[in-house]
Amino acid sequence: MQEKINRVLAAYGLSAQVSPFGNGHINHTFVIPGTPRYLLQRISRDVFPDPIAVMENISKTTRFLQKKIAAGGGDPTRQALTLLPTLDGKDYFVDEDGETYRIYLFIEESFAYETAPETPEQFALSAHAFGEFQKLLAEFPAEELKEVIPKFHDTANRLKQFRQALEKDAAGRAASVQPEIEFVLAHASIVSKITDAIADGSVPLRVTHNDTKLNNILFDANTKQPLCVIDLDTVMPGSLLYDYGDALRFGASTGAEDETDLSKIEFDLTYFKAFTKAYLEELGDVLTPMERELLPLSALMMTLECGIRFLTDHLNGDVYFRIHRPNHNLDRAHTQFKLVADMEAKMEQMKAIVAEC
């Protein structure tokens, strides 16, 4: 492997003995020692069939972010990712096997939390980070970006895929999950709310991160404040409602995504308020009226969508999400549907909190 990496490094004018870094599950990451240090990553073609499109999106957005940060008096090399160009000026390198690599400047004196938010205050810090990310990119022409995962948050399309899986019943499991199927179909009327709003222009097309979890933020090791949003592979055009809603789906749940004891699963309004308040402090003057109106529903929508995806994979025989036990995807679907039901019961409170914030 080192011999292969040596050929990649040579394209950047570098030479070093690299070491594995981090615990990511998709891309292979290595640290390149020296002053400064760098991170080398090989982009997974299994997850991203068009890695060049991924890199073009990252190149455009990181350069835009750096200009905005510099103009505001910040440090663009610490508050945004910095791509190292190859000797021929490209932001990536493709080797003889067709594998795509990139090198980032290592952001020193920083760290990431590898758990779900442990306090509302910590969750609020992530809201500030992702809210600022959105605010800095508010003027970026999102239509210039490519959909690296087409229809990723098109919930209506996810429902269509679910119906196809249900009709095919490849694993012969449909008869055993009738209540779950009925739950999904009972919510069919809301699945296109966000995409319809994008289509009629009341919700603008924006740059979306699409993986707004706490572990995708670097924090300053000294101040413990958010420093830089990372993992930009899924940056593409969409609605900020996707990012807001998915952050709450994961961060405001009181239990693990695959918890089997559903009595432990609730949607925590304290976390919801903390995140929403911080998010709107960053973006309050950027949002359109329809975006504000759909904030509470977006949390429910992203949770429903995730549950639909888990149940679809269960019907298909667990071909997409990795499982570690029988009915693992079904357990995951159950937690998401429990959260949806809890959000529905608390929707008026959620709307009141958004209005207050």
121-147 pLDDT per residue, tens: 999 999 999 999 999 999 999 999 999
Residue 25, pLDDT > 60, answer: no
> Considering the entire predicted model, what is its pTM?
0.94
318 domain residue, yes or no: yes
Is 83 in the same domain as 158? no
Residues 239-253, mean pLDDT to the nearest whole number: 97
Is 147 in the same domain as 69? no
Residue 295, pLDDT > 80, answer: yes
**What percent of the residues of the chain are helix, what percent strand, and what percent coil, each to the nearest 5?**
50, 10, 40
CB 318 within 8 A of CB 282: no
CB 18 within 8 A of CB 30: yes
103 pLDDT band (50/70/90 cuts)?
Answer: very high
Is 136 in the same domain as 260? yes
Residue 23, pLDDT > 70, answer: no
Q: What is the CATH number of the domain that holds 125?
A: 3.90.1200.10
Higher pLDDT, 3 or 95: 95
316 pLDDT band (50/70/90 cuts)?
Answer: very high
Residues 253-271, mean pLDDT to the nearest whole number: 97
Q: Which domain holds residue 7?
A: 2-108
115 pLDDT band (50/70/90 cuts)?
Answer: confident
35 pLDDT band (50/70/90 cuts)?
Answer: very high
Is 61 in the same domain as 149? no
CA-closest candidate to residue 301, choices 255, 270, 347: 347
Residue 26, pLDDT > 70, answer: no
pLDDT of residue 144: 97
Residue 357, pLDDT > 70, answer: yes
pLDDT of residue 2: 74
Average pLDDT in the chain: 95
Percent of the chain with pLDDT over 90: 92
pLDDT of residue 24: 56
Beta bridge partners of 238: 206
CB 319 within 8 A of CB 339: no
CB 336 within 8 A of CB 183: no
Q: What is the CATH number of the domain that holds 74?
A: 3.30.200.20
Count of domains for the chain: 2
